[in-house]
Chain A
Amino acid sequence: MKFYKPDNLNELLGYINNLENKFYLLAGGTDINVQIKNGFINDEEIIYINHLDELRNIEDSERELKLGTLVTFAEILNSDLISNNFPFLQESLKNFASPLLQNMATIGGNIANGSPTADVLPLLLVLEAKLELVSSNSSRVVEIKDYFTGYKKTLLKSDEIIKNIILSKDKYHLFTKKLYKKVGARNALTIAKAAIACLIKTNNQVIEDFVIAAGSLNEFARRLYRVENYLIGKKFSELDYTEIETLLRKEITPISDIRSDKEYRFQVFYNLLENFLTV
């Protein structure tokens, strides 16, 4: 296994700019080490980045909170900045893996690993987060909703890394009710069979704004725009749940695998949404 440890971010970006073969960035290592053990990573180069403190900051400004890619889940759960600005994010991630893993796993790794089950994705999707991607000669900001293009396929170019996760404070406080639920086989150390995140803004029984995202139910975690479009502007009393179900069927395409089956996954997601809208 080839290995490289850059001295700083610039050196890292320069180095990967010249790399031709596939490589992995070693952040918290909680995904990578399992992949090595299971023989999915063999001879690819491993580049250590966990010591690059410039990727570990939580930066607060008036309208944004910027999380460096190396921010761990434990840091998210303990950060005052996050609890002041996005208590929902903190509350929702309490069941991430286990306290032991929370001390190692990074938010950037969770996104970059690209699993449709990643806990943080439905949350970032409804919070309309942005990702700052950098390479040796460019820096761009993309919306998380556009980041995934297929199963484990993303916009990230081979010479880029995720630098920051940017959360906008503009809309967050307008939402009146929030839901996040990960449905797993147990209450700790569990990978989502299905996950739902939604935020709603209501006024006089009218849904003024609504965002919803699903995890583990498609090839990648995504927003469900058809459902959003249907709901926004409607009164609760005029909601047609058969219609919602039909729309959902178009939006989520769960599969049966070692963790659950597709009918169950669909129904649970539907139930959680229905409860959120009716209770």
Chain B
Amino acid sequence: MKNERKFDARPKVIGTHKFVDDYHYDGMIYGALIYSKVHHGKIRKITYPNDFKLSEFTIVKLEDIPGKILIPEPETDQPFFADKEVFFYGQIILAVAHPNKNILNNFVKKIKIEYEELSAITDIKETLDNKENTFGKQIIIDHRRNVKVEKNWLKTHSVYYTPHQEQAYLETQAMIAKYDEQNEEMFILGTMQCPFFVKEAVETILGDKIKSVQVETSEGIGGGFGGKEDFPNLLAGITALLSFKSKLPVKIVLDRSDDITITTKRHPARIEVETYTDPQTNKIRKMNVDYRLDAGFYQTLSPVVLSRGVLHASGGYNIEDVYIHGRLIRSNTPPNGAFRGFGAPQAFFAIESHIEKIASELKIESYQFRKINIFRKGDEFPSTQKISEDNLFDCFESIVEKSDYLTKYEKYKKFNQTHKDKLGIGLAIGYHGGGYTGNGEKVLDSEIKIKIDKKAIVTIYISNVDMGQGAHTTLAQLFSETIDHPFELTNVHIPNTKICPNSGPTVASRTIYIVGNMVSDLARKIKKDFGFDNLKNFVKQNKQIFPKEFSAKYKPDPNISFDENTYQGTGYKDYSWAACAVELYYHADTYQIELLNCWSMLDIGHVVNPKIAVGQAEGGVLQALAYGSSEFFYKKGFGRMHGFTDYTLPTTMDIPKLFIDFIHTDNEIAKGLGEVPMDYPAPAVRNAFFNATGIFIDEIPLIPETIFHAMKKEKKL
């Protein structure tokens, strides 16, 4: 537990750390994407403006693809370009490149595409309410245990809705492709989370026209949050195609409004929860969950988001009889993708709201109710995986204490009786399975490489990126701490598919949890094999051995298994646990909520670098609070957001005090941290509002318009 400084902090603050748009290559030209401006339609005609020299432009479309037209994905169904029909607003139809940015922009503005418009489903609720639109594989977790519903049991039923959320990484999607005609090689430089996915995408689109593809990330990656998990595949494929055709280096940097319009977002969800609770014991005995995600038009990543979603859908509660049904629903909107949490924030919003509802129907305080039902050691998930620790319970108890929840709850109840404005405090719990779901890590088969040179400088070679989460600093620190080697002598190589082994994508909170622990293991192994005490001295005395490379592969735990068909078994080997309390002030005149405080208690196991970890959690928590209170991309009546003017991110003036704490840090293992802070705060906001006003809102965000209409409905106005 040391606060090593980030190796890239200073150049980032000064601004010399390079992001994609800061790179330049000789002869480079600029590319732009032309996409559908209708939700569904047949393309009738494409007209290029005639006041330009068409020959100066490189234009690529579906028919220019020499390789395969479908982007490789968990579900390979999305083509790089639309063909004769477009299925969503934002679907790419063609791409153009030109040496001059201004000419390119003017040309692009003047390209006319005529459509015959066809009917489309674009409203979230309309999409999700209609089971007919289901597509792709459905998932069922059947943990029914023939529990007989007694007459006096309380049945509680509700449908919960969550919106899109935009990752809003500050660096927009950007890619450079450089084709080397002589050697038939394609070099890609980009802002991305998964270099090897990008490599595969470029190989796919170019087929046997090229001999090799090399993908490297830019020095800096200006945020990802999941948004740079799969969209870069599409963008790199198209940029590569432009470079292949023009034989020149091509750079595409998306404008913010294009980025927000066409890239992936968090899936909107409709989650229906039905529970039966025994009022004698206040135990939930039976639960049915219908978990639906709006996938957009293509499945792409959605099946894996769905699988994580259903595995988190019953929340942190021990329920004997559970049935979970997950499905994807199709709409005429861009495919949704990865965003920090990956299906779990939707699940926890539903379940943590529902718990509040049951408690209020039972007329007991929700803290007590949670305490009765919360996971304890020995309980089991609907997948039958056993709960091996009491850490969720510990997070929960400590947050109740830290936030002084019980006192405040009573105090605010009194305050609210005599005031129009209200005060509220709300709780929520959550957890996040680390790494790929089920057998995913086994299939990924990650590999790492470590090189030690003659001066004892250690370089770690991996394909995981540092997009701000501090992964490279933390990985270097892990190595250095494990065998007590100076941190200053430990580096991480910039991810490059030719130089670094494939240690898997930078997703699923797996970089430290999986790759980091591989680094620690390998460090230990190196030390043991050579039998040294001090690496530096050892290198000095044994110069002839160095430089030397070491590598290791992921070793799956042979004792665990997961059945991909029944979803029974170990969904995730380790879970990060968390609980939080949110305190807010409700302004009766404007229907606005003002977040005052948010306390989080997390169990992420070993905390490698406390300051980095706290920073990660703070960032995640704020994104989650905004998910609960302000952010949405589409809403009926409001329409779709075009850029940062409409999609309002929290500013310095909109945030509560954030308190972050870690518990059970004496664990040997560093568990996942990236996503768990996103999972639970949104329902805590909702619950705080419920405690403040007694109004039960079944959707987020709690924007004042939503609150106003909910109040009107409940005739509290």
Given a CB threshold of 8 Å, the question of whether A touches B is answered with: yes
Report yes or no: B641 in contact with A267, Cβ–Cβ below 8 A: no
Question: When the two chains form their complex, are residues B708 and A188 in contact, meaning their CB atoms are under 8 A apart?
Answer: no
Please tell me if B11 contacts chain A, counting CB pairs below 8 Å: no
- Please, how many angstroms separate the alpha-carbon atoms of A263 and B591 in the complex? 12
**Which residue of the partner chain B has the closest CB to A38?**
B257
With A190-B648, A191-B645, A268-B590 given, is the CB distance from A263 to B708 under 8 Å?
yes
Are A186 and B648 in touch, CB under 8 angstroms?
yes
In the complex, whether B544 has a CB less than 8 A from a CB of chain A is: no
Flag if A268 contacts B589 (CB, 8 Å): yes
Q: Which of chain A's residues have a CB closer than 8 A to the CB of B704?
A: 183, 264, 268
Q: Which residues of the partner chain A approach B637 to less than 8 Å between Cβ atoms?
A: 256, 261
Nearest to A271 among chain B residues (CB) is B589
| B626 to A, closest residue via Cβ | A186
Task: Say yes or no: is A260 at the interface (Cβ < 8 Å to chain B).
Answer: yes
Q: Within A165-210, which residues are at the interface with B (CB < 8 Å)?
A: 183, 185-191
With an 8 A cutoff between CB atoms, is B77 at the interface?
no
The one of B591, B641, B652 in contact with A258, judged by C-beta atoms closer than 8 angstroms, is B641
CA distance in complex: A260, B590 (Å): 12
Point out the residues of chain B lying under 8 angstroms from A272, CB to CB. 589-590
Q: Mark interface residues in B605-622 (1 if CB within 8 Å of A CB, else 0).
A: 000000000000000000
A263, B637: Cα distance in complex, Å: 12
Which residue of the partner chain, among A186, A188, A260, A271, contacts B705 with CB atoms under 8 Å? A260
Whole-angstrom CA separation of A261 from B712 in the bound complex: 14
A: number of interface residues (CB 8 Å) = 24
Q: Mark B690-717, 1 if CB is under 8 A from A, else 0.
A: 0000000000000111001100100001
A140 in contact (CB, < 8 A): no
Contact A264-B630, Cβ < 8 Å, known A186-B654, A191-B645 = no
A183 to B637, CA, bound (A): 19
**CB interface residues, A 13-39, toward B, < 8 Å:** 34, 39
User: Is the beta-carbon distance between B654 and A258 smaller than 8 angstroms?
Assistant: no
Which residue of chain B has its CB nearest to the CB of A262?
Answer: B637
Q: Which residues of B contact A258 (CB under 8 A)?
A: 638-639, 641, 646
Q: Is A259 in contact with chain B by the CB < 8 A criterion?
A: yes
Assess the B590–A271 pair: CB atoms within 8 A: yes
Within the assembled complex, what's the spacing in Å between the Cα atoms of A190 and B646?
Answer: 9
- Chain A residues with CB under 8 A of B630: 185-186
Task: Count chain A CB atoms within 10 A of each CB in B641, B645, B712 and give the residue with the most.
Answer: B645
For A275, give its contact among B589, B591, B709 (CB under 8 Å).
Answer: B589
Residue A240 is within 8 A (CB to CB) of chain B in the complex: no
Per-position 1/0 for A229-267, Cβ under 8 A of B: 000000000000000000000000000111111011001
Contact B654 A268 (CB under 8 A): no
- Docked-complex contact A187 and B651, CB < 8 angstroms: yes
Q: Is there an interface contact between A189 and B651, defined as CB atoms closer than 8 Å?
A: yes
Report the minimum CB–CB distance from B715 to chain A (whole Å).
Answer: 14
CA gap between A189 and B589 in the complex, in Å: 21
**Is there a chain A Cβ closer than 8 Å to B664's Cβ?**
no
CA distance A162 to B648 in the complex (A): 32
Given the complex, which residues of B lie within 8 Å of A260, measured CB to CB?
Answer: 638, 705
- Is B653 at the interface (CB under 8 A from chain A)? yes
Once bound together, how far apart are the Cα atoms of A39 and B591, in whole Å? 36
With beta carbons under 8 angstroms apart, the residue of A98, A183, A186, A191 that contacts B590 is: A183
B residues near A268, Cβ cutoff 8 Å: 589-591, 704, 708
| A187 x B653 contact (CB < 8 A) | yes
Given the complex of chains A and B, what is the CA–CA distance between A186 and B704 in angstroms?
11
Does any Cβ of A come within 8 Å of B650's Cβ? Answer: yes
Determine if B408 is an interface residue (Cβ-Cβ < 8 Å): no
Min distance, Cβ A118 to any Cβ of chain B, angstroms: 15
Q: For the complex formed, measure the closest distance between the CB of B37 and the CB atoms of chain A, giving whole angstroms.
A: 13
Q: CB of B109 within 8 A of chain A?
A: yes
Residue-wise, chain B 91-104 has the 8 Å CB interface mask toward A (1 for contact) of 00000000000000
B residues within 8 A CB of A187?
Answer: 651, 653-654
Tell me which residues from 88 to 127 in chain A have a Cβ below 8 Å from any Cβ of chain B. Answer: 98
User: What residues on A are CB-neighbors of B591 within 8 Å?
Assistant: 264, 268
Q: How far is the CA of A185 from the CA of B653 in the complex (A)?
A: 12
In the assembled complex, the Cα of A268 lies from the Cα of B717 at a distance in Å of 12
Interface centre among A185, A189, A272, A275 (most CB of B within 10 A): A185
The answer to whether B589 and A257 have CB atoms under 8 Å apart is: no
Q: Which residue of A lies closest to B703 (CB)?
A: A185
Chain B residues with CB under 8 A of A257? 638-639
Interface string of B547-590 (1 = CB under 8 A from A): 00000000000000000000000000000000000000000111
Q: Which residues of A contact B589 (CB under 8 A)?
A: 268, 271-272, 275
- How far is the CB of B419 from the nearest CB of chain A, in Å? 12
In the complex the two chains form, what is the Cα distance from A124 to B416 in whole Å?
38
Give the nearest-CB partner of A191 in chain B. B645
Closest to A42 in B: B109
Give chain A nearest CB distance to B103 CB in angstroms: 14
Contact of A185 among B109, B639, B648, B708 (CB under 8 A): B648
Residues on B with beta carbons closer than 8 Å to the beta carbon of A263: 708-709, 712
Inter-chain contacts of A34 with B (CB < 8 A)? 645
In the assembled complex, the Cα of A186 lies from the Cα of B655 at a distance in Å of 10
Measured between beta carbons, the chain B residues less than 8 angstroms from A256 are: 637-638
| Most chain B CB inside 10 Å of its own CB: which residue of A190, A191, A260, A267 | A267
Contact B708 A264 (CB under 8 A): yes
Closest A residue to B109 by beta carbon equals A39
Given A256-B637, A268-B591, A275-B589, CB of A186 within 8 Å of CB of B651: yes
Which residues of B have CB within 8 Å of A259?
Answer: 638, 646
Interface membership of chain B positions 655-677, coded 1 if the CB is closer than 8 angstroms to chain A and 0 otherwise = 00000000000000000000000
Q: Which of B590, B592, B646, B705 contacts A261 (CB 8 A)?
A: B705
Q: Report Cα–Cα, A39/B642, bound state, in Å.
A: 14
Name the distance in Å between B271's Cβ and chain A's nearest Cβ.
Answer: 25
With a 10 A CB-CB cut-off, give which of B591, B646, B648, B717 has the most chain A CB atoms.
Answer: B648
Chain A residues whose C-beta falls within 8 Å of the C-beta of B651 in the assembled complex: 98, 186-189
**How long is the Cα–Cα vector from A268 to B712 in the complex, in angstroms?**
13
Residues of A within 8 A of B705 (CB): 260-261, 264
User: How far, in angstroms, from A189 to B712 measured CA to CA in the complex?
Assistant: 29
Chain A residue nearest to B652 (CB atoms) is A188
Complex Cα distance, B285 from A110, in Å, reads: 61
User: Within the assembled complex, what's the spacing in Å between the Cα atoms of A264 and B704?
Assistant: 8
> When each residue 108-123 of chain B gets 1 if its CB lies under 8 Å from chain A and 0 otherwise, what string results?
0100000000000000
Question: Which positions in A face B, CB cutoff 8 Å?
Answer: 34, 39, 98, 183, 185-191, 256-261, 263-264, 267-268, 271-272, 275
Report, nearest first, the 6 A-B pairs whose CB atoms are least far apart: A187-B653, A271-B589, A188-B651, A188-B653, A185-B648, A264-B705
Given contacts A183-B704, A188-B654, A264-B704, 18 further A-B contacts (CB under 8 A): A185-B630, A185-B703, A187-B653, A190-B648, A256-B637, A256-B638, A257-B639, A258-B639, A258-B641, A260-B638, A260-B705, A263-B708, A263-B709, A264-B591, A264-B705, A264-B709, A267-B708, A271-B589
Q: List 18 A-B contacts (CB under 8 A).
A: A34-B645, A183-B704, A185-B630, A185-B703, A186-B648, A186-B653, A187-B654, A188-B651, A191-B645, A256-B638, A258-B638, A260-B638, A261-B637, A261-B705, A263-B708, A264-B704, A268-B704, A272-B590
